[in-house]
Amino acid sequence: MGVLLDISNLSLAFGGVKALTDVNWRIEEGAVAALIGPNGAGKTTLFNCVTGFLRPLPGSRVLYDGRDMTGWATHRLAEAGLVRTFQHPKSFTGMSVRENILAAARIAGDPSRTEAVLSATDLGEFAERRASECPYGVVRRLNIAMVIALRPRLVMLDEPAAGLNDVERQVLARNIQKLRSEGCTVVLVEHDMNFVMSLADDVTVLDAGKVLVHGSPEDVTSNPEVIRVYLGQYDAAS
């Protein structure tokens, strides 16, 4: 397949504080890649850097499908097939679930996909309900549905399982598998290790803005450094 997203020397500073330092990360096309790390490690910041919400420091480089798209605007990335979701569920609150998906499908140029996406994500029963009146888990699913409607090449999911119960997590896992089966590359930030273990092909651990370790889920979870970083947090808390 090949490397779809190639991040090298990505650095970012907020004022005097370095949030990301020389992050190197390569994501294979078709893979499910997970980014984990303790709170405050910079995972969402990394996402924001790659997806055009923050500008990285000079010297950083992000290649998407071989093209240099460092610092590209968010919409340009989306047009090129790189789509993201957000930590907090978002929607066009005044519109119904169906209209939300339709909006995404229209932007992608194929409004007829709406029905298919609705049923594929089991959102049929909420189709006419206003997004603002839908429960948390449903809106999360709606976000995934909107992403699916866009037919992206690379999807970056920011903590997609946060706040979901077990059943909803299973549905999410299924939707991610569905994306993957359609050839989409999935990158996700996640805290839930079990979730990551069952889904991810490879895992990258971020700590204090630096990449700690990279490898298969088994390797990473048995890595003593990783355990220290996660458990160290635990100890400090207690």
Partner 1 sequence: MSGTLYALVAVGLTMTFGIMNITNFAHGEFLMVGAFATYALTVSGVPFVLALLGGAAAAAVLGVLVERSTFRYTLADPINGLVVSLGLIAILQNGMAMMVGTEFFNLAPPYAGTVDVGGVVIATQRLFTIGFGVVAIAGVWVLLRRSSLGRSLRALAVDPTAAGLMGVRTGYMYSAAFALGCGLAGLAGGLLAALFPASPFMGAAPVAKGFIVIVLGGLGSVPGAIAGGLILGIVESLGAGYISSAFRDGFGFVALILLLLVKPSGLFGVMERRA
Partner 2 sequence: MSMGYTNRWSIVPWALLALLSVYLVAAGSDFLQHLAVVTAVYAVLAMSLNLAFGYTGLFSIAHASLFGIGAYGAGLAMNFLNAPFAVAVVCGGLAAAVMGATVAAVFSRMEGPYFAIGTFALGELVRLLLNEWRDLTGGPMGLMIVRPLGADLGTFGLDLSQRRSFLILALALLALTAIGFAALLRSRLGARMTHVRDDPYLSASLGVRVFRTKIEAFFISGLVAGIAGAVFGVYLMFIAPSSFSGMESVRLVMMVVIGGAGTLLGPVVGAGLLVLLPQALRMDPTISLILTGVILVAVVLFLPKGIVGAVIERARRWRERPGLVARPAVAAATAGRN
Binding site for partner 1 (CB under 8 A): 15, 44, 47-48, 53-54, 86-87, 158
> Alpha-carbon distance 190 to 79, whole Å?
25
Q: Pick out residues in 158-217 that bind partner 2 (CB under 8 A).
A: none
Pick between residue 156 and residue 196 the one whose CB is nearest to partner 1: 156
CB of 166 to partner 2, least distance (A): 27
Q: Which stretch binds partner 2 (CB under 8 A): 22-30, 47-55, 168-176, 218-226?
A: 47-55
Q: How far is CA 136 from CA 21, 84, 155, 168, in A?
A: 34, 18, 21, 11
CB of 31 to partner 2, least distance (A): 21
Q: Which stretch binds partner 2 (CB under 8 A): 16-24, 77-85, 175-183, 217-225?
A: 77-85
87 binds, among partner 2, partner 1, none (CB under 5 to 8 A by kind): partner 1
66 Rama sector, left if φ>0, alpha if ψ -120 to 50, beta otherwise:
left
44 binds, among partner 2, partner 1, none (CB under 5 to 8 A by kind): partner 1
CB of 48 to partner 1, least distance (A): 5
Q: Are 173 and 8 in contact (CB under 8 A)?
A: no
Give contact residues for partner 2 (rule: CB under 8 A): 51-53, 73-75, 78-79, 83-86, 90-95, 98-99, 102-104, 106-108, 111-112, 114, 127-128, 146, 150
